[in-house]
Amino acid sequence: MSTVSLAADKATGPVSTGPAVSLWRSIPIGAWLGVLPFIAFALLFLIVPTLFLVSSAFVDRDGNLTLQNIIDLGTDQVVNAFSISIRISAASAFFGALIGLAMALAIIRGRLPSAIRSTVMTFSGVASNFAGLPLAFAFIATLGRLGLVTVILRTVFGFDIYKSGFNLLSFVGLTLTYLYFQIPLMILIIAPAIDGLKKEWSEAAATLGASRWQFWLYIGFPVLWPNLLGTLSLLFANAFGAIATAYALTGSSLNIVPILLYAQIRGDVLHNPGLGAALALGMIVITACANVLYIVVRTRAERWLK
Amino acid sequence: MIARRFWAWVVFGLGAAYFLLPLLATFIFSMQMRRDRLTFDAYLSVFADERFQSTFTYSLLCAVFAIIVGIIIVLPAAYFVRLRLQWLRPVMEFITLLPLIVPPIILVFGHIKLFNSSSILPLTNSTFGTDVLIVCGYVTLALPYMYRAIDTGLRTIDVQTLTEAATILGADPIRTMVQVIFPNIFVAVLSGAFLTFAIVIGEFVLASLLNRPAFGVYMQNVGANRAYEPSALAIISFALTWGAMGVIQLLDRFAPRTARQA
């Protein structure tokens, strides 16, 4: 609650506004009626379906309790999918964070014209929302086998990226594509933190004889560190749950968890409904861990950036 | 100092190349449908496609309903939590964070399992029921953004005083919400609405798994079967996203001035 309304609350507290009004104020039935639809909706369409799904991971075909589905997650196909998913998410989060940080530093502390900063921020808002199928189409048109850049590199420069081992429908290609929404997201989240590095700090450091590297090593980086770690986990979760881009790009040729789960929901490719639920449970555990890390670290980070 | 600016330009230039090249390439690619010259034929072919019109209309309607339902459930909740039930705030924050933790594919998997034909509430039995389910799914996906937009709007106005004033003048809580609070945070609600629109319009996973004829499913179909139309669709989608985000930015610029005077 903001201090403004707190003050207003105190100020208007003693004023009597008639019996009907004070009754409404003392028993917050009206307030509860207002919150009720929200709670009911969240229970019905968010919490209960998720819990129901997760709990069905512990039930076998005949309705008995079992841990077999969880154990079955250890099969090669599933382990493989999780491993590829985690590697792609980690790689796109890491490089997204690194490049996003470099770009944010460049536009905020690199003394570029201020118009560039607002343009980059606006563009980041758009690009971080430009995911899914259209993003895949754009990269196919650019770096696919017949993509414009591929063709130009081959015909003009005589360099065939596909002959030298590049493939858009692979680990590297998917990571490169994911960076298109990961970098802007990083810029959007880290920019306020970089703004929070006060000018006085670098002046004080300079007065004490610190070089720019020493400033970053002992002041800038330690202050930004919690934010970096937090954003990293957010980017990881962001990539881990994404499916539309990967699906449009690779069809079902790349075995990542969301695509495996998609195939499982459509046609029970794992031949065990319970295993599908266990797969979902595994995904939730991983994204939840990443998000919890983000929230914990974020609260820590906010101490410095007020 | 000069070195610093130099490196800043280098980083910015490389970034700009990475982000603009795909857009430029996609745009040129989308105009190469005719062998000898650049034309907009791929766009014409998309716009003329009857399925484009029907699926786009379907997704647009989904977005409109998702926005309306979202406002109806989020606005009263956020308002009363701010006004009277402050201790519920962490619960609200947690609930609205959940859609970011639970990936959409898991959400829809849960929906399919819970509302299938043999359940108590068999929504997937009828077309209408499935439409209701998909709109509710979209409301859920947009919940974090809608809640944050409305809550931010409520923070910029003095909810307490406005409510007191309206109550003294004889307005009941519903009237207070509709005629006093809502107009005051209209700009914030709009930005929540446009974010919802941006999420819903090209959404693929929910629509595909619930078998509804949405724009996202159509795009996937075109992507798998055509050469130039997908790039045209990519450019159209980018323009739509840019439009929605641009409106939000514009609204943000005007929001504080109109709201604080309340």
Q: Would you kindly state where each structural domain of chain A is located, as residue ranges?
A: 17-58, 73-301
Where do the domains of chain B lie, and which CATH numbers do they carry? Answer: 31-260 (1.10.3720.10)
Q: What pLDDT score does B239 carry?
A: 92
Tens digits of per-residue pLDDT, B127-162? 999 999 999 999 999 999 999 999 999 998 999 999
Q: What is the pLDDT of residue A119?
A: 87
CA-wise closest residue to B200 among B127, B137, B108: B137
- How far is CA B3 from each of CA A106, A217, B8, B127, B218, rounded to the nearest angstrom? 12, 19, 9, 63, 50
Q: SS3 sequence, B190-236?
A: HHHHHHHHHHHHCCCHHHHHCCCCCHHHHHHHHHHHCCCHHHHHHHH
Q: Chain A contacts of B5, Cβ < 8 Å? A: 110-112
Q: Mean pLDDT by 10-residue block, N- to C-terminus, for chain A (306 residues)? A: 40 45 58 89 94 88 82 87 93 95 89 86 87 91 89 88 85 92 92 84 87 85 84 90 88 84 85 85 90 80 63
Residues in contact with A292: Cβ distance below 8 Å, sequence separation at least 6, in sequence order:
none
Q: Which CATH class is domain A73-301?
A: mainly alpha
Report pLDDT for A11. Answer: 40
From the CA of A122, how many Å to the nearest CA of chain B? 8
Q: Note whether A262 contacts B: Cβ–Cβ < 8 A.
A: yes
Q: Does A289 touch chain B (CB under 8 A)?
A: no
Cβ contact, residue pair A30, B246, below 8 Å: no
Phi, psi values for residue B85, rounded to 5°: -115, 55
Burial class (CB in 10 A: 0-12, 13-18, 19+), A68: middle
Which residues touch B59 (CB under 8 Å, ≥6 apart)?
B200, B201, B202, B203, B207, B214, B215, B216
**pTM for the full predicted model:** 0.86
Task: Select from B118, B117, B114 the least CA-distant residue to B140.
Answer: B114
Angle at B143 between CA B142 and CA B147, to 5 degrees: 120
pLDDT at residue number A306:
54
Chain B interface, mutation test: which of A3, A41, A154, A240, most B Cβ atoms within 10 Å? A41
* Phi and psi torsions of A65, nearest 5°: -65, 140
Question: How close does chain B come to A140, measured CA to CA in Å?
Answer: 8
Counted across chains A and B, CB pairs separated by less than 8 A come out at 284
Interface check A39 vs B, CB under 8 A:
yes
A118 in B contact zone (CB under 8 Å): no
Which B residues in the span 223-252 are in contact with A, Cβ-Cβ below 8 Å? Answer: 223-224, 227, 230-231, 233-234, 237-238, 241-242, 244-246, 248-249
Q: Measured between CA atoms, how close is B86 to chain A, in angstroms?
A: 7
Which phi and psi angles does A28 have, rounded to 5°? -80, 50
Q: A277 contacts in B (CB within 8 Å)?
A: 109, 113
Give Cα A94 to chain centroid, integer Å: 12
Buried/exposed code over A222-232 (b: 16+ C-beta within 10 A; e: otherwise): ebbebbbbbbb
Beta bridge partners of A59: A65
Q: What is the DSSP letter of A57?
A: G
CA dihedral A253, B202, A121, B20 (to 10 degrees): 60
pLDDT tens for B34-53 read 888 888 888 998 999 999 99
Tell whether A97 lies on the interface with B, counting CB pairs under 8 A.
Answer: no
Instruction: Judge: B109–A8 Cβ closer than 8 Å, yes or no.
Output: no
Q: Quick one: pLDDT at residue B58?
A: 96
Asked if A111 lies within 8 A of B204 by C-beta distance, the reply is no
Could B234 and A30 be called an inter-chain contact, meaning their C-beta atoms sit closer than 8 Å? no
* CB-count exposure of residue A269 (10 Å: 0-12, 13-18, 19+): middle
A198: alpha, beta or left, given left = phi > 0 and alpha = psi -120 to 50?
beta
Mean pLDDT by 10 residues, chain B (262 residues): 80 92 92 85 90 95 97 94 88 89 92 86 87 96 93 90 92 89 91 91 93 93 89 92 84 60 42
